[in-house]
Each structure stands twice: as C-alpha cells, then as structure tokens.
Structure 1
C-alpha cells in the first residue's frame, strides 16, 4: 500500500491507497516540531482501527508546504516503514506537468499536486481549481494539464481571526451558512457572519468570472478543502467538489513515477 502525506500550513493529511483506491484518511494539526516517533504512535493506532498494519505499507510519498516538517516525515518512512519517501517536486520526482509561470520553483507543492489530480478527473479541458485552506487559492490548469498561474487570497478562517483580533468588541464566531439569504444583519454576530460568508461568496464569484473572461474558454470549476461544501450549499459556485484532490494527486504522481497508469 501507498501512504500519501500532504502537509499544509494548518493540517497534515495522511491517506492509504491500494492502487487507485483510497482506503483510509486521517488528519492532524501541522506542527513542524512533531517527531517521527510521535507521528507513528498516532498513526499506528488509527491504522489498527481501520484494520491496516504497519507492514502493509511499502511506499510513502510526501507533499509539503512546510519545509521544516519534512525531515521527521522522511524519518517516519525510513524508521517505521522501511522505505525512502518520495518527495513531490524534489529530486527524481518531477511533476510530470509544465509549470507555465515566471517562477516555477516557487509554485506550492499542493498546487502542483492539485493540478495533476484535476487533469486526471477532467482531461482535455481548461480547469479552475479552488482550494480552501489557510489561504484560498485559484489555479488555472490548461487542457494539457499545465499549471498556468492563479490567485492567492486570505483564507476564510484567517480573515475572521484577523477581524476578531483587531476589533476588541467583536466576538469569536464559527463559519457557517447564514440562516437566511438576507444581507442585513440584526445582531453583531449575524452581521459578522454575513460579511464573512456572503462577502467571501462575492469574492469567489467575482474571481471565477474574471478568470473565465481572461481565459476566454469554458472552464470546469473544481473545489477542494473543508469549506467547499459549505459555500456550495447556498451559492452553487462549483461544477464539482473533490475533497481528496491533493491526496489523489499524490497517488497519481506516485503511479507516474513508477510507470503505472
């Protein structure tokens, strides 16, 4: 089995694949101080709960936007699974897609992996991939799978945290869809929720429209990340939601590296 690890700024996701089948997935808060031993104690218990054994894993692939977390994950692969981890975008593990931007070396590993995954689900079409994380990113993937650039915006939770931190009297609220479509709030909390939710919807709609107009061709809008479903519930912004887009991208990258389809 393949253990795929995607480390974001907020969470690290782990998944087990047998071929192209995703068998199990887990997440843990990103902490670049976490040791290989700590990862294994946590992971071993979860694998057992799902009916998998450590010895079932014969390959590991890692994608990370947190460079300091990499060493301990490589050590995890070596010490506990007896394999040398492949690191997406490094060494012999090329992307297999063109990065048609001015600074290809600066493209985040997660965005390149998402491009690989998006091409697998919508080959031959222009795609707009929206990823909801610490930042919200909008990426144009060409019909040939090439990464052609995109947009980086503050993530929803990051925006809300900044608002609460800067305004002493504003309460901390949870991100959720407003109870009704009104954009005139009657309480402080409802006004904050409207501003965050519908304000973000307006930003997404506007950036989708601008990117489609600039590309000048139909685009399939693919969303990933935990908040994608929340926005789709009331705003219907996306053509499809792929919760495991990044993890599946790592699976496809590993398959390409090993000459598999």
Structure 2
C-alpha cells in the first residue's frame, strides 16, 4: 500500500492508499517541524495496528508539503521505518505533470498543484477548486488540465483568531453552521458567528461569481479541505465536495511515476 503524506500549515495528514486508489485509512496530526521521525513512527505504528495494518504493508511513500522544514523528518521516517525512499511531489523525478500557467510557477503550493491534478482527473471541463484550510484558496484549472492561477484569502479560523486577538471583550466562539438563516444576531456570540460564517459565505459566492465571469465558460466548482462541509448546507455553489482531493493527487502522482509517465 501507499502511504501518502500531505504536510500542511496546520496539520499533517497521513493516508493509506490501496492499489485501486481507495483510501483505506487516514490520520492527522498537528504540524510541527520539530517533530522527529521517531515521534512520527511511534504515533503511526499504534494507529496502523488499530486499523489492522503493519509497517510492512507500506510499500511506498509520497510526500507533498508546503512546510519545507517538515520535509526532512518525513523523509527520514520513510527511509528508517518503512525502508523506502520517499517521493516528493514536484521535486526531482516527480514533476507535476501539468502546466503551471502562471507568472511564478515555482511558487505554486504543493497542495494547490495536487488539487489541480486530482480535480482534472475526476472532472471534465473548466474547474474551480476551493480549498478550506489554513488559508482559503480558489484554484482555476482549465479544460486541458493547466493550472491558471487563483485567489488566496485568510482561512475562517485564521480570521476568527485575528478578531479575538485584536478585540479584548470578544469571546472565542466555535465555528459552526447557524441553525437558521438569520443574519442579525441578538447576542455578542451570535453576531460574531454571523459575521464570520455569513461573511465567509458572501466571500465564497462573490469571488466565485467574479471568477466564473472572467472564465466565460461553464465551470464545475469543487470544494475540499476539512471545513468544506461546514458551508454545504447554506450555499448552492458547490458542484462536488471531495475532502481527500490532495491525497488523491498524491496517489495519482505516485501511480504515474511508477508507470514512467
């Protein structure tokens, strides 16, 4: 089986991917560049056992990361505990395999390129991928699979953190979908939730409308990331929700590398 590792700014996601591309198990841990290969190994060993797997079941490792400092320890994890050299998405012998049609292709984040690869493999035509992570990103992929650019906005948790840190009397609230569509809050907490949640819905819908107008052709919108389902019930702009898009991109890259493509 393949161990796919998506190292993001907030969490590192480990997923076991079967030969047919299905995800057999997934785990996440807070991103900490100081975490050693040994610490990862102890944690993973226990989780593998709980799911009925052993280290020997892992025959390959591929890593995608937007945190360069985390890469070394993940590579050591692969070599020391899984007895394999990890492939690193977008580096060395593992090129993206898609055209990055932007002014600074070297600065495109691994997660965004991987999302583009997986989205194009699963959907036809022009695409917009909205990834709800530490940042909320909009990525435009054209009908032939080229990455055309996008938008970066603060993630919803980041926005809430900034608000609470800057306003002494505002409490920390949980981000959740409101029970009803009322926008005018009657308590401080409900007003904060309204501003954060409905403000985000308005941003998503407004930016997506502008993106579609610029593209000028029918567009399929795909939502991914841990918070994607949070907005599903109160907006109709998503054509598909695929929480594992980045992992699927890693699995596709590994498959193509194995096939020499």
TM-score grouping bracket, smaller chain normalisation: over 0.9
Distance 2:66 2:207 in 1: 24
SS for the counterpart of 1:25 is strand
Corresponding residue of 2:192: 192
Distance 1:34 1:199 in 2: 36
Distance 1:99 1:153 in 2: 20
Corresponding residue of 2:175: 175
Distance 1:225 1:95 in 2: 20
Corresponding residue of 2:259: 259
- 2:229 counterpart of 1:238: no
Corresponding residue of 2:132: 132
SS for the counterpart of 2:94 is coil
Distance 1:258 1:210 in 2: 39
Shift of 1:179: 2.2
Moved over 6 A (4+): none
Distance 1:15 1:208 in 2: 30
Contact 1:231 1:237 in 2 (8 A): no
Shift of 1:22: 1.1
Corresponding residue of 2:214: 214
Corresponding residue of 1:99: 100
Corresponding residue of 2:8: 8
What is the total number of aligned residue pairs between the two structures? 260
Corresponding residue of 1:165: 165
Shift of 1:178: 1.5
Q: TM-score, normalised by structure 1?
A: 0.98
Shift of 1:260: 7.6
Structure 1, residues 29-68: CA drift from partner, whole Å, max 9, x if none? 0000000000000000001111111011110000000000
Corresponding residue of 2:59: 58
Structure 1, residues 161-210: CA drift from partner, whole Å, max 9, x if none? 00000000000001011122111110000000000000000000001100
Q: TM-score, normalised by structure 2?
A: 0.98
Distance 1:244 1:17 in 2: 11
Give unpaired runs (5+ residues) of structure 1.
Answer: none
Give unpaired runs (5+ residues) of structure 2.
Answer: none
Q: CA RMSD in A?
A: 1.0
Distance 1:164 1:237 in 2: 29
Structure 1, residues 197-237: CA drift from partner, whole Å, max 9, x if none? 00000000001100000000011000001111110112222
Q: How does 1:66-77 map to 2 (within 5 A)?
A: 66-77=67-78
Distance 1:142 1:213 in 2: 14
